[in-house]
Amino acid sequence: MIPKNTKSKGILGLKVRKSVQRGRRVHRIKQRRSRTI
């Protein structure tokens, strides 16, 4: 979902990257919870 021309978009590209990082963190936390249960 991440476009290659993020530098041209500037601030918008940074927002997209931050949202992607958040999603990955949430996914990792969910995996840890499922393993512990």
Over residues 6-26, the pLDDT tens digits come to 555 666 666 777 777 677 777
pLDDT surpasses 60 at 5: no
Please give the helix or strand (H or E) that residue 20 lies within, else none: helix 11-36
Average pLDDT score, the chain: 67
Please give the helix or strand (H or E) that residue 8 lies within, else none: helix 6-9
pLDDT surpasses 60 at 1: no
pTM as predicted: 0.31
Residue 22: Cβ within 10 Å count: 10
